Amino acid sequence: MEALLRPIYQERASEANTLGIILVEKREEVSPITDTFDSILFVLTKDADQPIFTKHYTFNDKKAAMHIITEKQLRKWLLLGKNPKLVDWLINGRVVFDRNEYIEQLKRELHEFPINGRKARMGIEFAKLSRRYLEGKLFFEQLNYLDAYNHIVDSLHHLARLAVFERGMHPEVMVWKQVKQLDPSIYKLYDELISSQESLAKRLELLFLASEFLIHSRTKDGAQHILEVLALKEHWTIQEIHEQEELKNYSVDLEVFIEYLVDKGFIFIEKRSTKGNEIMHRYYKVKR
């Protein structure tokens, strides 16, 4: 298929805006890595009117997709973990064009995974974990077992990704295959939840008991990024926290995460008077 795609990627390579091109071939009959396509052309550009542009091609019984992504969009996806296939494409795909070794440098960054980027990724992942876990626990207490199950499976997935980050690696599409090797204790929780012969209520009860420690023991590392940012000022309003550039990526999970850290004693509340007689302003602070 590459011979058929070569004129297409050579045309893209001739454009000054193109930083690099990677060719990804499917490795199995039904491949989640390539979204079932036989080949993927992954084109990175410096900028574009559209941050994401996709084209599909076909030849006899074969099909291919070309994804043109801007550097800014790529960095955002890598930070937020929104598209885990990208890591596989970058690491395992074949580089067919690389302007000024841009992709080689990107690969080195992925392998080295600088500590600042890792802390931010862990913080965002832990925020998602805490939200799904707390909501799942609430559903369990309300005897809504199916909703509790859905949330706890999601929270375990976030816990698995967190375990991968802790080891300086990036989560792959098949993250449980990774975690089975990296952290068998988390894999065992997941396996027992989905394969146990116990009733759903009993499985959930046992899982909440077992996972409490695993989550609590990771709170300090998971909260490191947000606590370092909040330590830059004496105190913060919630609006100031939302507007802080590094914390915007926490998105809808931010306030639940903050309340979780207040409950665990990592963030403190400072009350200040308002014009009302009894109601107080609520400010947030950490030890500096």
CA dist 42 and 95 (Å) reads 9
Q: Which two tokens stand for residue 126?
A: 């832990």
Say yes or no to pLDDT of 46 above 90: yes
pTM to 2 decimal places: 0.80
* Pairing relationship of beta strands 62-70 and 39-45 according to DSSP bridges: parallel
Q: How does the average pLDDT of the chain come out, rounded?
A: 91
Instruction: Examine the pLDDT at 1 and tell me if it is beyond 80.
Output: no
Residue 28, number of CB atoms within 10 A of its CB: 8
pLDDT grade, residue 30 (50/70/90)?
low
Please state the rounded mean pLDDT for residues 176-184.
92
Residue 275 has pLDDT above 80, yes or no: no
> What mean pLDDT comes out for the span 32-38?
86
Confirm if 254 and 247 have CB atoms less than 8 A apart.
Answer: yes
Provide the pLDDT for residue 201: 95
Measured on CA atoms in the order 284, 161, 112, 219, is the torsion positive or negative? Answer: positive
The whole-number pLDDT of residue 125 equals: 94
Map out the domains of the chain with their CATH numbers. 2-111 (3.30.460.10), 115-270 (1.20.120.330)
Which residue, among 249, 45, 222, has the nearest Cα to 129 in the 3D structure?
222
Q: In angstroms, rounded to a whole number, what is the distance separating the alpha carbons of residues 152 and 193?
A: 9
